[in-house]
Structures are given as structure tokens and as C-alpha cells.
Amino acid sequence: MSFSEEFELLLRARYPLIYIPTAEEERVEAAIAQSALHLGNRAVYIWDFVDGYQGNPNDVGFGRRNPLQALELLDKLPSSASGVFLLRDFHRFLEDISVSRKLRNLARRLKSQPKNIVIISPQIAIPSDLSEVLTVLEFPLPAAAEIKTEVERLLAATGQSLTGKLLDELVRSCQGLSLERIRRVLARAIATRGELQPEDVDLVLEEKRQTIRQTQILEYYPTSENISDIGGLDNLKDWLLRRGSAFSERARQYGLPHPRGLLLVGIQGTGKSLTAKAIAHHWHLPLLRLDVGRLFGGLVGESESRTRQMIQLAEALAPCVLWIDEIDKAFSGLDSKGDAGTTSRVFGTFITWLAEKKSPVFVVATANNIQALPPEMLRKGRFDEIFFVGLPSQEERRAIFAVHLSRLRSHNLKSYDLERLAYETPDFSGAEIEQTLIEAMHIGFSQNRDFTTDDILEAASQIVPLARTAQEQIEFLQDWAAAGKARMASRHTGLSNRIQRQLQ
């Protein structure tokens, strides 16, 4: 159901108090005016703290700098008169006892009158005493069709036309921005060169990064990693490659649903985060990184509002990859957290969205401690698949050494004994192998020469891998994966001998 359809339904059902959280005042007011016209040309009254009521000649300036008086306008009008009363930034006055009481009184009266109060605010801030009488209605960011109309309007104003492919690319790059920001960035591009050009897509993407940065919830993450940069994890890479075209229109026509996402569980430093970056780069999708800790705010209702904002923004930027690193730390111990249920509500909203989302947002969540994850997170339907990323086998360690050394010493790769390096580094993770190479480079650099295989082995002898310092936790993870709770990301797993005997 679209915003206009849902809003008109609330008006017809005589919902007295409607709360719309959005920063797009101009656009939402235009949508409300259109709905009011569609429902029998209802009068629209607009109030703000500085100018009072505007638009209606008989009431211009009424309620200026007086929010309580703004509500009293409804008492002046006949009970049979219909109208929609838009109150800008009215959330700032809801804590006032006189305003709160007046709203609750009006809520009882307006159930039998064709009048509706609509509060427009850039954020949700609803006191507990008004939570039962206020109905929150989300106002989505502009869809592709609306953006395309706006871009075509700007093009017509400059007498320019764009090819279908370039126009579609420009529209897609604008998704996730407010209409005002789209107008601003495109106007800047036109003012610079007199017309829109293909390179203006980069300008739009920079504006998008700025917008996401301002939310302080999501981070627009640049990617350059390739699937080939991942050493090993052949089963996982095959699974991803098969889904490379799953976001295309051809896949929709075939009847394929959008891929939902992956949960990557495993030992630290085994390439889970690298995989998330490589997925976005290989599929040519934007990568959004979510720090779950940023969802939680100190004000009542702020955490839930930020969660909804995150979901709305991710869906507006779709198709995209949403990367949630170490999700186990964010939602561990839900029942024991003394935060009046905020964490539980945020978690509930999040997993409901995971299960029911229709938008092409591919979620890649990583976790190190499976015991800390709530059971609901592991239920089928949240993710397409759960993969266990274990310690690399000897063959995979050789591949990891080859990847890093190809990047560091591509001209001299044959001088390194990859087989020996892989054999001499049992229980090393990918991150520990990378650190070993860095240490070997320090050894060679300090002696004014290039580093050698022996330097790498010397560096490896000085590193105690996590597999030894956190042996119990790693064995628990391996037991969990061996019990069939997840698919193995690697064909040749680096499981312990005890686990391998169990699997046989």
C-alpha cells in the first residue's frame, strides 16, 4: 500500500492524530494536499511556530508562537467542517502538559468529526502519555518512478535529453536521496557544465555518501576486493557465483526471488568481512556497513526510530549489500539487558524485516560466537544460508599465501616456497598469515634486503595463533558445524583431527 493510499484510509477511518516522521516537508505536504483534494477537496491548514497558520485568509497568523492556540483553531470551526491540520515541528511541544492534555481531549472529539491533526517532524519523539492516541505513518523516500519524473523535468528545463541506459543509471544512483537533495545535486551538475553528463553519476554517489554519513547509522563502504582475493572457501565462492545475476530483471522474469542474505559464522580472521566486501564488488552493488551499536539512542523511542530509518534507507538504496559485522556482540544476552526492553524491540523489528523483506537488500551478517546469537536469528527464512568459515586447510593456506604474495611481490612470486609455508603454519587463520608476511617484511626491510621464505617462517614461529589461545571456543564452533548446523564454506576444512574423525 502506497503512502497516499494508507493516508487516505486513515482520514476516512477518522484517525484523529497522525504523526509523520520525515525531513521532506515540501514533498509530504504536496502528497497530503493531493490526498485531501482526492477526498472531497478537504481544506488543508498549515501551522508553524514562527508564522502561525498559513494559506487560509481568515486564519493567517493565528497561533503564531503559541502551540496551544494552534490547537484551539479546531474549536472555532463547525463540527461538520472537514479539514486536515498540518503542524510542523510540533514534536517539540508534546512534553508540555497543556498541549498534551489538549491533544488527548481533541482525540476523543475528533473521532466523530471529519478533522485530522497531522504532526510533521524530522524524527520520532512521542511521550508515553500520547503513544495510544498518535498513529505513526512512515513517509518513504522517493521511488524510482518519482525520481525519473523529477530528472526528466530538470532535463526538459535545460532542453536536454538522455539515452535510456544513462537515464536509468542516473535514476538508480539517486535512489536513497530525498527529492530536495536530488534537485540540489542535479542543479549543481547543470550549473557546472550546462547539462547532465555521464560523470555526474559520481557526483550523485558522493552526495549519497554524504547523506548516509549524516545519518550516523549506515556507512557507505568503498570496495575493491574481488572474489579471487579470497583464499579457499570454495563452497562459499561457488554459492555466490551462482547467484551473481540473481538481481537482474531476467531473474525476475524467470521467477527467482531476490537473494535474502548470508550468515557467516566462524573463527576470527578467517575472511568473513573480506567476503562481504568481495560480494558487493563482484555483484557491482553498493556496500552499506551497519554498526548495530549506532542504532541505540538514549531517548525514549529513538532506538526504534533509528532501526526504521536504517531499514528505510537500505531499501531505498536497493539493490545493495548490507554488511553487519559481529552481529553476535550486538544482540547477545537479550533477556538479561536492563534497558526496559529496547534491545528486544530493536531485535524484533530487525529479524521481522529479515524474514519479510521483499526489497533486494542482500544482508551479510558475520558472527564469531554462535552461543551469543539468539535462536531466532538462526531460524530458516532469515537468511538463504548459514556458512561456517573455519580455519584454512593446508591447501587453502597455500592459496592465501599466494594471494598476498601476488599482491606484495608479483614479480618475485616463484622465489617463495608456498608448499613449505602452508605446511609450517598449521592452525593459522588468514589474518594471522597476513600479519606473518608483514612481520617478515619488517625483518627484510631492517636488513636492507627483500624478505624470503625463511623470514616468513621465522615470523610465523613468533606468532601464537588464536586456535591455541582460544582452543575451547574454536572446538565448540567446530563441533557445532560438524553437527550439520551450517554448511561448510570450504571443501577442505581445517578442522581438528578429532572433528574430522567424527565426520568420517
C-alpha cell at 119: 504532526
Q: What is the CA radius of gyration of the chain?
A: 28
b/e burial code for range 303-316 (CB count within 10 A of at least 16 → b): bbbbbbbbbbbbbb
H helix runs in 95-199, sequence order: 97-109, 144-158, 164-174, 179-193
Q: What count of other Cβ atoms lies within 10 Å of the Cβ of residue 19?
A: 22
Nearest to 10 by CA among 179, 197, 137: 137
pLDDT tens-place string over residues 38-97: 998 899 999 999 999 987 777 889 999 999 999 999 999 999 999 999 999 999 999 999
| pLDDT grade for 225, boundaries at 50, 70 and 90 | confident
- If pLDDT is split at 50, 70 and 90, which confidence band does 503 have? very low
Cβ–Cβ under 8 Å, residues 6 and 32: no
Q: If DSSP states are collapsed to H, E and C, what string results for 90-112?
A: HHHHCCCHHHHHHHHHHHHHHHH
Query: Using one digit for the tens of pLDDT, what is the confidence trace for 227-240?
Result: 888 877 889 989 99
pLDDT above 70 covers a percentage of the chain that reads 94
Task: Give all domains of the chain, ordered by start, each with its CATH number.
Answer: 3-136 (3.40.50.300), 144-215 (no CATH), 227-389 (3.40.50.300), 394-426+430-464 (1.10.8.60)
Residue 495 has pLDDT above 60, yes or no: no
Please give the single-letter amino acid code of residue 239. W
pLDDT digits (tens, 9 = 90+) for 247-295: 777 888 888 888 899 999 988 888 888 898 999 888 878 889 988 877 8
Helix %, strand %, coil % of the chain (to 5): 55, 15, 35
C-alpha 488/C-alpha 391 separation (Å) is 11
The H-or-E segment that residue 503 falls in is helix 497-503
Look at 183 and 338; give whichever has higher pLDDT: 183
Query: Taking 80 as the threshold, does the pLDDT of residue 163 lie above it?
Result: no
pLDDT of residue 298: 55
Instruction: Name the pLDDT band for 496 (thresholds 50, 70, 90).
Output: very low
Please say whether the beta carbons of 158 and 190 come within 8 A.
Answer: yes
63-72, 440-449, 482-491: segment of lowest average pLDDT: 482-491
Residue 197 φ/ψ, nearest 5 degrees: -130, 165
Instruction: Please provide the DSSP assignment of 312-372 as one string.
Output: HHHHHT-SEEEEETTHHHHSTTGGG--STTHHHHHHHHHHHHHHH--S-EEEEEEES-GGG
CB neighbour burial string for 422-438, b if at least 16 within 10 angstroms, e if fewer: bebbebbbbbbbbbbbe
Residues 195 and 201: their CA atoms lie apart, in Å, by 13
Mean pLDDT score across all residues of the chain: 86
pLDDT for the residue 499: 43
pLDDT tens for 298-334 read: 555 677 778 888 888 888 778 889 999 888 887 766 6
Query: In this structure, how many other beta carbons lie within 10 angstroms of the beta carbon of residue 343?
Result: 22
The pLDDT of residue 428 is 92
Does 377 or 137 have the greater pLDDT score?
Answer: 137
Query: Any idea which of 28-37, 112-121, 276-285 has the lowest mean pLDDT?
Result: 276-285
Report pLDDT for 130.
93
Instruction: Give the residue-averaged pLDDT of 173-180.
Output: 84
pLDDT of residue 301: 60
Inform me whether the pLDDT recorded for 394 exceeds 70.
Answer: yes
Least confidently predicted of 272-281, 413-422, 474-483: 474-483
DSSP 485-498: ISEES-SSB---HH
| pLDDT (0 to 100) of residue 264 | 92
3-state secondary structure of 420: helix
- What's the confidence (pLDDT) of residue 300? 52
Residue with cell 536492563: 338
